[in-house]
Amino acid sequence: MPIEVISAIIGLILTLMIFSYLLGDNPLFRIAVYLFIGVSSGYAAVVVWYYVLIPKFSPLLDPSRFTLLIIPFVLCLTLLAKLFPRISWVGNFAMAVLVGVGAATAIGGALLGTLIPQARASMNALDLGTTGGGADALYKLVEGGVMLIGTVLTLAYFHFSAKRVLDGSVKRNAILEILAWGGRIFIAVTFCVLFAGVYMTALTAMIERLSSMINLVKGLLGL
């Protein structure tokens, strides 16, 4: 029997085991989930070993680069001290460096990958010089206006400044509160679109599996 047929039969069995969850939690579904988690963990471990650990530690065998890499290597070793409460303080410096670099990378990525491109896209959307005029210019103007308004309202929603009023309570500015209400609408629409995209992806995957199952059964029956 060809390996492709064996793989298809295994896929059919596992798919049916996953679909058995429609009847409630059962051992077949749990076995399929355990297999998926085990295979995923094994694959992740192999990827980390060959593409992270070996490339990072193999330069230590090169005498010309050993001096430059000894400091990161020592910091990595000090992180192991976190496993032992009595000497956990040894890894504080390496942990501080790790957290600081991670936070800076996250902030830089959000700034360069999200905020600045979003602001630039909002400004470019109002550039009518790239259109031929007429209906195209009007459409681009409306599209750019919606993007600009959505960006401003969404940023206003995440503006948490407030002041105390006469009764001692804390309240945001009335205009800012109205803008934040509009931002909630744009955020809700965004989440709806994301949910619809996830649902369509899952539906497409389910249709593909059902189609594969039907084709496999037809092939085995000679239909």
Which H/E stretch holds residue 170?
A: strand 170-171
Q: Examine the domain organization and report whether 89 and 68 are in the same domain.
A: yes
Q: Examine the domain organization and report whether 107 and 137 are in the same domain.
A: no
Q: Examine the domain organization and report whether 134 and 223 are in the same domain.
A: yes
Q: Examine the domain organization and report whether 158 and 198 are in the same domain.
A: yes
pLDDT of residue 170: 62
Q: Examine the domain organization and report whether 72 and 53 are in the same domain.
A: no
Sign of CA dihedral 118, 119, 120, 125: positive
Task: Give pLDDT tens digits along the chain (223 positions).
Answer: 577 778 888 888 888 888 888 888 889 999 999 999 999 999 999 998 888 878 777 766 776 666 677 788 788 888 888 888 888 888 899 889 989 988 999 888 888 888 788 777 767 766 666 665 667 777 777 877 888 888 888 888 887 776 666 665 667 777 888 888 888 999 999 999 999 999 999 889 888 888 888 887 787 777 6
Domain stop point among 102, 124, 146: 124
Q: Examine the domain organization and report whether 140 and 205 are in the same domain.
A: yes
Structural domain boundaries, residue 157: 128-223
Residue type present at position 41:
S
What's the Rg (C-alpha) of the chain? 28
Domain stop point among 124, 157, 174: 124
pLDDT of residue 129: 64
Structure tokens that stand for 41 in this block: 């963990």
Structure tokens that stand for 216 in this block: 């496999």
Domains: count for the chain? 3
Q: Examine the domain organization and report whether 97 and 151 are in the same domain.
A: no
Which H/E stretch holds residue 69?
A: helix 63-79
Structure tokens that stand for 123 in this block: 């400004």
pLDDT of residue 140: 75
Q: Examine the domain organization and report whether 120 and 154 are in the same domain.
A: no
